[in-house]
Amino acid sequence: MLRRLRDRDVVGHELAHDPVAVRRIVAATRRRGYSVRAPDFGGHYSKTRRELDDGRSSIAMPVRSGGHVLACVNLTWRRKALTLTQVVDRYAGDLRTAVTTIEGRLAASGAGAAESVAGLP
């Protein structure tokens, strides 16, 4: 994913070119067990949240197979309805269950990461 972001020199992909920031984000995500939408992202890649705010927030968890991340399961909500803490408290367990179920089904089907991503550009 990062390689694909780095390959395209477009507004909104700047963070992918900053290895220190990427390591910091990955470390925080691993500690929490889920990723969180960047606080300054308001829904438009070339504008900050101050310039354009869609009023949403998101968390996501990776789906892994064969040591590779194949996908993510994402939950997005209106910030006016729930806070990040409320969403994590209420739904992170369900999100983790969904991810675990998908990973289990991938493993049971014999679909490994190499087969699953081999055809992707």
The domain spans of the chain are 56-117
pLDDT 10s digit of each residue in the chain, 121 long?
788 888 887 777 788 888 998 999 999 999 999 999 988 888 887 888 889 899 999 999 999 998 888 999 999 999 999 999 999 999 999 999 999 999 999 999 887 654 544 444 4
Q: How far is Cα 28 from Cα 44, in angstroms, rounded to an integer?
A: 23
Spatial CB neighbours of 72, under 8 Å, sequence gap ≥ 6:
35, 60, 61, 62, 63
The arrangement of strands across the sheet holding 35-36 comes to 35-36, 56-65, 68-78
Give pLDDT, residue 1: 75
pTM (2 d.p.): 0.80
Give pLDDT, residue 20: 94
Give pLDDT, residue 27: 94
Give pLDDT, residue 13: 77
Give phi and psi for 115, each to the nearest 5.
Answer: -70, -40
Spatial CB neighbours of 113, under 8 Å, sequence gap ≥ 6:
64, 65, 66, 67, 68, 70
